[in-house]
Chain A
Amino acid sequence: MPQEILPPLSASVRVKPAGWRFGLRLWLPLFLLWLLLIPLLILALPLLFVGSLIFRFNLWRSLRAANGVLAATRGSQVEVDKRNTRVFIKLH
């Protein structure tokens, strides 16, 4: 499966609150979140289909575009360093 259509599969989070001697290093397996959300999406599909007929939008294109936005967040990185507090988040 090409990487362009996959949502971020994991996130690296590093947090060091002020006053803490050591920071926290977390690796969040986001793919588990997507695995949990897929059944919910399947359940919601009939509702989305009805909504697409009422509001006249292309459901397939919308889902693809939404997934595209999600997939495009891969590689995003945010780093904030304030006094003794540090936060670093990176989506893989």
Chain B
Amino acid sequence: MHDNRRQILEMLAQGKINSDEAERLIAALERSDMPALRDTSAVKYLRVLVDANDEQEGPTKVNVRVPMQLLRAGVRLTGVIPDRAREQVNEALRKEGISFDINKLTPDNLEDMIEQLRDLSVDVDNERAKVRVFCE
């Protein structure tokens, strides 16, 4: 977007377009970029829907909405874990067979992950229950 804007300003400086045309072009550029901006901020909640039907307990419906902001805040919370404790956490994860380094869990990486979550949809369907996990 910045390149296009600069190009318009250069064209204006070179006298190829006048100020009205530059204004119209920048406005059009902003309009074309707006849906993309809206999309990136679209993932706001993680939704979990459970529709269970137990023979004894009867039907149960659960609807949980968790703000994505909570995930971000949780990751920021890992930033205050002392280094020694981080190593212990990594070691414990390795023992469980999970090769995950919590040092690599940063707010920047998280944004990429949240972006990918937009398309996430987990559907579990069996005789007793239907579970749906998705982002909205």
Interface residues of A (CB under 8 A from B): 4, 55-58, 61-62, 65-66, 68-69, 71-83
A65 contact set on B, CB distance < 8 A: 73, 76-77, 79-80
B57: Cβ under 8 A from any A Cβ: yes
A75, B77: Cβ atoms under 8 Å? no
User: Complex Cα distance A66/B74, Å?
Assistant: 9
A75 contact set on B, CB distance < 8 A: 44-45, 65, 67, 69
Interface majority SS (helix, strand, loop, mixed), chain B: mixed
User: Complex Cα distance A33/B69, Å?
Assistant: 22
Q: Which of B44, B57, B69, B74 contacts A4 (CB 8 A)?
A: B69
B77, A68: Cβ atoms under 8 Å? yes
A83, B80: Cβ atoms under 8 Å? no
B44 contact set on A, CB distance < 8 A: 75
B41: Cβ under 8 A from any A Cβ: no
User: Complex Cα distance A82/B65, Å?
Assistant: 18
